[in-house]
Structure 1
Amino acid sequence: MRESSTTAVLCLASASPRRRELLSSIGVEVEVRPVDIDETPSVGEAADAYVARLARQKAAAGVGPSSLPVLGSDTAVVCDGVILGKPRDQQHAAAMLRGLSGRAHQVLTAVAVSGPAGMLEACATTRVVMRDIAEHEIAAYWATGEPADKAGGYAIQGLAAIFIERIEGSHSAVVGLPLFETAALLARQGVPLWNGADR
């Protein structure tokens, strides 16, 4: 799959519509060039190192003939030091939500941009506090289909917003891309933003 735009100023090495929408919100139109890499954590790999490695690998793998800078990003939901990936099935999703219910967890999102300034990267950590989630809510949430492809089994920008008591940090990072850090990296790579921050 590849989507192009005549106004594209950046290559996005991801098929995530959320990341594309977030970039568009700061005036950055992208060429979508999804990459396929092994996202298995290495033995003993810390969560911040894991998301940073994947972001770099995606940015490197997305380099192509267009010569545009390439952005790669990865998000991990972490609870008690354990990286929670996408749910394998309903039982796995329910177990993850039970583990997150009524307590705090961390969401780490790394972003890497390959371009004229080399490989630049940043990582944002956000603390998310969930209210208690009832069993019938967990079952009803799975039935919506929303959690099936989401890290940690929930989408903060979707129906699961009613489970979120508060966050400390970047909301956009939990959605999929830390815009404060991303804008700074893009400006250093000469990618124009809505406010002309590359100049």
Structure 2
Amino acid sequence: MRLVLASASPARLSVLRGAGVKPMVRVSGVDEDALTASLGPSAAPETVVTELARAKASAVAETFADTTSDLVIVGCDSMLSIGGELHGKPHSVEVARQRWQTMAGASGVLLTGHAVLRVTDGVVVAQAAAHSSTVVHFATPSSADLEAYLGSGEPLQVAGAFTLDGLGGWFVDRIEGDPSSVIGIGLPLVRTLLTRVGTSLAELWGAPDS
């Protein structure tokens, strides 16, 4: 049994490796903005992140259609709900700065969708999906610290324009919930989803290196 991480996120990969799993990495190539738009403005935030995670896992599953392997594919997607809006990656300094004007001294909910697909001989034989929610309480960084953080480039490519396990951790006062899900992949939830598709951590811990 091998775990395939359907994500290019080094943070998610680090979490899994630190938890004793040696995943293969396959990037899905899913157009997140297009899929989010297709769900419509009335879609619940929980639905958006879960469907994005499912789409990523499904896209990667298709790349194993001609294999005879026994795999579990994990897709994830995170967004920050704050001020009545759902935020993904800002991609630019200007957008990240605007996000932090809302986030500073406030609280938001980091939502992470998870989808686990079990693939046997190229066929998806079981799947499970769910989301986790963690409340994040943000500090108010000084202007100099915020500009230095924006200049580092770190917040531009992460959901909500912050990290918990990197430079952004300086500006998180506390969280209520699972810290691993804030980093990008919730270990307790993934464990539950693995059980639902008929596998276990014991099988994954014994998998060889990729």
> Shorter-chain TM-score: what band?
0.7 to 0.9
Matches within 5 A, 1:105-120: 105-115=108-118, 118-120=126-128
Q: What letter matches 1:23 in structure 2? A: L
Q: Which runs of 5+ in 1 are unaligned?
A: 1-7
CA distance in 2, matches of 1:31, 1:164: 31
Matched with 1:180 is: 188
Query: In the alignment, is residue 54 of structure 1 matched against residue 62 of structure 2?
Result: no
Matched with 2:172 is: 164
How many residues matched? 191
**Per-residue deviation at 1:195?**
9.0
- 2:136 aligned counterpart, secondary structure: strand
Q: Percent identity?
A: 33
**Per-residue deviation at 1:27?**
2.2
- 1:88 aligned counterpart, secondary structure: coil
Matched with 1:14 is: 7
Matches within 5 A, 1:54-133: 54-63=52-61, 64=64, 65=67, 66-115=69-118, 118-133=126-141
CA distance in 2, matches of 1:122, 1:177: 12
**Per-residue deviation at 1:193?**
1.9
In terms of fraction of residues, the more helix-rich structure is 2
Q: Which runs of 5+ in 2 are unaligned?
A: 120-124, 206-210
CA distance in 2, matches of 1:168, 1:179: 16
Change (3 A) 1:194 1:39: same
Change (3 A) 1:37 1:166: same
95-104 or 137-146, which moves further after superposition? 137-146
- 2:74 aligned counterpart, secondary structure: strand
- 1:27 aligned counterpart, secondary structure: coil
- 1:62 aligned counterpart, secondary structure: helix
**Per-residue deviation at 1:67?**
4.0
Matched with 1:155 is: 163
2:7–2:27 contact (8 Å) kept in structure 1: yes
Question: Normalized against structure 2, the TM-score is what?
Answer: 0.83
CA distance in 1, matches of 2:15, 2:202: 13
User: How far does the alpha carbon of each residue in 1:155-184 deviate from its partner, in whole angstroms, 9 at most, with x for none?
Assistant: 111111111111001111110011101112
Q: What letter matches 1:78 in structure 2? A: S
Q: CA RMSD in A?
A: 2.1
